[in-house]
């Protein structure tokens, strides 16, 4: 068990983040200050520049807090962002990161086009706190996930079944390979153990702006809908469904959705809307995240992607310290992670163990060690997300858990 998981900002000097931003939350680099030791370099590949799914707000908040407190044993963390908005760009981003021997890890990547992770893994670059998106990610031996990542969306039908009682569940998904690959996981790993199957699963073209045809394609007898798409498209589907008179419960992931977005963009049309995260917002770890996020807390960039990025950076710092900050390498960083079986996230997740493979779905997801989600229901009158369900953490692959 790690003796020191969290760092508190105690040093007043602000550190340059060395950013090469390619979209996100427009975080300004901190002013330069002097460190006697070289930086610890990390990289994040941005799949959808400008979208809240980048999680940059959380990444930058954690870096600032750690560097303000003197870095990791006197070494500051420095991050570079690169655009990976299609397969070729993602592959090039990974090749550049692998070639730069000073880059120790990739953090918080959402590799929806499937180009970054295989290239980086082949080159020996660890992925710390990546957001699992593709089947290749699920078996990536150099990847260390904090939770279900985009598989949170696979858990949405389970949420509808277990918490709401839905039996005729339909879906609408962002039509990219990562989402296509999740269909069999939903069917075989989530719904089949519950004796259910999807009654429809409608693809959403990534460039679609008019979502009325998507809603029209959904079965009228559905008693639950899950949406796996961008925030903009998800909002339009919710509003269009309610406008069309659909009153079935709707479940969305909190990867890109924020409470701020629900309040501002959905509001009183958000009746019977549920959400899932793999983080507990009532935990001590969440309170620390909110504190370090500062004035961005509660904004439209305050979502599970930002929280994942924040935790990923803290995990990276802890593992660097465990491996020995002065001479840490990619190999020693991976070894430190592989030997960690009880990482304390202060209640954000169950204790994390990267030593024991996941055996769900016939062992198809060995690297998704933590398959728990937390279920919430949106209260449009209070403008709040309230945790629901009998247990804090619900296993995606469990039945009635």
**Average pLDDT, consecutive stretches of 10 residues, N- to C-terminus, the chain (401 residues):** 31 23 37 77 91 86 97 97 93 97 95 90 95 79 88 89 95 85 85 94 94 96 94 94 96 84 93 94 96 93 91 98 98 97 96 90 84 94 93 78 36
- What confidence tens digit (pLDDT) does each residue in 226-245 have? 999 988 999 999 999 999 99
Domains of the chain, by residue range, sit at 40-148+282-363, 151-277+372-395
In this prediction, residue 358 carries a pLDDT of: 85
399 phi and psi angles, rounded to 5 deg:
-110, 120
- The fold adopted by the segment(s) 151-277+372-395 is Rossmann fold (3.40.50)
Quickly list DSSP for 41-71. EEEEEESSTTSGGG-HHHHHHHHHHHHHTTT
In this prediction, residue 2 carries a pLDDT of: 34
Tokens of 392: 């804090």
In this prediction, residue 113 carries a pLDDT of: 87
Among the residues of 16-151, which ranges form H helices? 56-68, 87-99, 116-122, 135-138
Question: In terms of CATH architecture, what is 40-148+282-363?
Answer: 3-Layer(aba) Sandwich (3.40)
CB 173 within 8 A of CB 203: yes
3-state class (DSSP) for residue 272: coil
* One fold for 40-148+282-363 and 151-277+372-395: yes
The DSSP symbol for 29 reads: P
In this prediction, residue 369 carries a pLDDT of: 87
CB 114 within 8 A of CB 178: yes
**CA-CA distance, 42 to 19, in Å (whole number)?**
10
In this prediction, residue 32 carries a pLDDT of: 37
CB 194 within 8 A of CB 180: no
In this prediction, residue 181 carries a pLDDT of: 73
Q: Which helix (DSSP H) or strand (DSSP E) does residue 16 occupy?
A: none
In this prediction, residue 9 carries a pLDDT of: 27
């Amino acid at each position: 068990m790690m003796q020191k998981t969290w760092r508190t900002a105690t040093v007043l000097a602000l550190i340059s983040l060395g950013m090469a931003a390619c979209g996100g939350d427009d975080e300004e680099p901190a002013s330069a200050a002097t460190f006697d030791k070289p930086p610890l370099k990390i990289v994040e590949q941005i799949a959808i520049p400008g979208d809240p799914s980048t999680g940059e707000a959380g990444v930058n908040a954690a870096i600032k807090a750690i560097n303000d407190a003197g870095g990791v044993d006197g070494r500051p963390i420095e991050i570079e962002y690169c655009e990976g908005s299609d397969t070729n760009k993602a592959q090039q981003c990974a090749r550049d990161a692998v070639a730069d021997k000073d880059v120790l890890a990739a953090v918080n990547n959402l590799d929806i086009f499937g180009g970054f992770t295989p290239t980086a893994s082949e080159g020996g670059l660890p992925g710390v706190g990546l957001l699992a998106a593709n089947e290749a990610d699920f078996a990536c031996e150099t990847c260390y996930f904090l939770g279900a990542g985009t598989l949170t969306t696979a858990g949405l039908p389970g949420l509808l079944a277990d918490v709401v009682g839905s039996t005729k569940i339909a879906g609408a998904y962002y039509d990219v390979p990562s989402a296509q690959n999740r269909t069999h996981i939903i069917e075989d790993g989530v719904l089949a153990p519950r004796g259910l199957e999807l009654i429809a699963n409608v693809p959403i073209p990534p460039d679609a702006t008019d979502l009325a045809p998507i809603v029209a394609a959904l079965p009228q007898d559905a008693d639950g809908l899950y949406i796996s798409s961008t925030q903009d498209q998800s909002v339009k589907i919710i509003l269009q469904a309610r406008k069309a008179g659909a009153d079935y419960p709707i479940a969305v992931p909190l990867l890109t959705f924020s409470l701020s977005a629900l309040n501002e963009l959905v509001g009183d049309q958000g009746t019977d809307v549920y959400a899932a995260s793999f983080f507990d917002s009532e935990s001590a770890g969440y309170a620390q995240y909110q504190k370090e996020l500062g004035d961005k807390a509660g904004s439209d960039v305050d979502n599970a992607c930002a929280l994942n990025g924040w935790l990923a950076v803290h995990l990276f710092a802890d593992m660097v310290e465990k491996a020995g900050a002065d001479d840490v390498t990619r190999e020693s960083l991976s070894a430190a992670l592989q030997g960690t079986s009880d990482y304390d996230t202060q209640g954000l997740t169950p204790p994390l163990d990267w030593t024991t493979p996941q055996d769900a779905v016939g062992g198809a997801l060995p690297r998704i060690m933590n398959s728990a989600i937390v279920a919430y229901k949106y209260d449009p009158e209070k403008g709040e997300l309230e945790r629901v369900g009998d247990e804090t953490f619900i296993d995606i692959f469990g039945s009635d858990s």
